[in-house]
Amino acid sequence: MAIFKGAGVAIVTPMKENGEVNYESMAKLVEFQIENGTDAVIVCGTTGESSTLTHEEHLDVIGECVKMVAGRIPVIAGTGSNCTETAVYLSTEAEKLGVDGLLLVSPYYNKATQNGLYRHFRTVAESVKLPILLYNVPSRTGCNILPETVVRLCRDVENIVGVKEASGNISQIAHLAAISQGCVDIYSGNDDQIVPIMALGGLGVISVLSNVAPRQTHEICQKFLDGDVAGSRKMQLEAMNLCNALFCEVNPIPVKKALNLMGMNAGTLRMPLTEMEDANAAKLEKVMKEYGIL
């Protein structure tokens, strides 16, 4: 059974001006998501700036998120690492904190072989009982999890159940859907490809867009799941300018700016990420007004 269907938000980690995690703002963001129909919360992923959280902060953010959500929707924790031992540690600790699933990014920088990826993910999966989604984002990791490797893992390892596909390569994702024969739960990792990936059998999206437009992102997915493909496609196309604006600089720079423009107090970014360029911020604000969320 799938961990979730629909729109899961890849939630930001709000920060105070001194760089500390702002748990008061985080609680408000979680409530905003749940009130607007989000189907799952994915915490400490790329959008959550996991790469600049200490291990202690990483686990604290996961634990607090679990408490805030309080069982109302699934919580999926990003616990991947380019070090297998670290990924095992974060995953086993997250399991103790009560998450519903894990998201494991492919090891970055190391550029493991496909066999190395298989062994890495299998080792982490065998350390826990939770369902696991792989996270394929080669533009950030320098490493592509090939469809054959995804299928092999989902068939060989009981609790590896699917993949967040952010390669942007629709042909690769179609190949994955074709060879998996339903054994892989596929989620779009790109907001501009929700409908195309669901048309290939995907179950939904793990979304940056949902941070600022949770109701709309949920509806894009729900309409498709309900058979209203035309309605889903219409909403997808209406959101394209906003999707593009949210990625005009590296994620999560624009989405944190967008939340701050909405008065949601997402706060600052941790170095080496820096505040959005003024020209891009002005374009983002204009697009948000046109979309109706400002």
Whether residue 116 lies inside any domain: the answer is: yes
What CATH number corresponds to the domain at position 22? 3.20.20.70
Whether residue 201 lies inside any domain: the answer is: yes
CA distance 171 to 186: 14
In this structure, are residues 232 and 223 in contact, taking their beta carbons and an 8 Å threshold?
A: yes
Number of structural domains in the chain: 1
For residue 185, list its beta bridge partners.
162
Whether residue 191 lies inside any domain: the answer is: yes
Longest dimension (CA), the chain: 49
For residue 132, list its beta bridge partners.
102, 160
What was the pLDDT predicted at 70? 98
- Token pair, residue 202, equals 């995907």
Q: Identify the domain containing residue 220 by its residue range.
A: 6-227
Whether residue 147 lies inside any domain: the answer is: yes
What was the pLDDT predicted at 11? 98
Give the count of alpha carbons within 13 A of 221, CB side only.
Answer: 29
- Token pair, residue 216, equals 């709309």
Whether residue 29 lies inside any domain: the answer is: yes
Whether residue 109 lies inside any domain: the answer is: yes
Q: Which residue in the block uniquely carries the two structure tokens 């992102």?
A: 217
What was the pLDDT predicted at 234? 98
CA distance 276 to 170: 29
This prediction has a pTM of: 0.97
Per-residue pLDDT tens for 236-280? 999 999 999 999 999 999 999 999 999 999 999 999 999 999 999
CA distance 166 to 211: 17
Q: Where in the sequence numbering do the catalytic residues fall?
A: 135, 164
Q: Which portions of the chain are predicted below pLDDT 50?
A: none
Whether residue 232 lies inside any domain: the answer is: no
What was the pLDDT predicted at 1? 80
Whether residue 246 lies inside any domain: the answer is: no
| CA–CA distances in Å: residue 197 to residues 90, 114, 151, 171, 273 | 30, 23, 17, 10, 30
CA distance 94 to 130: 10
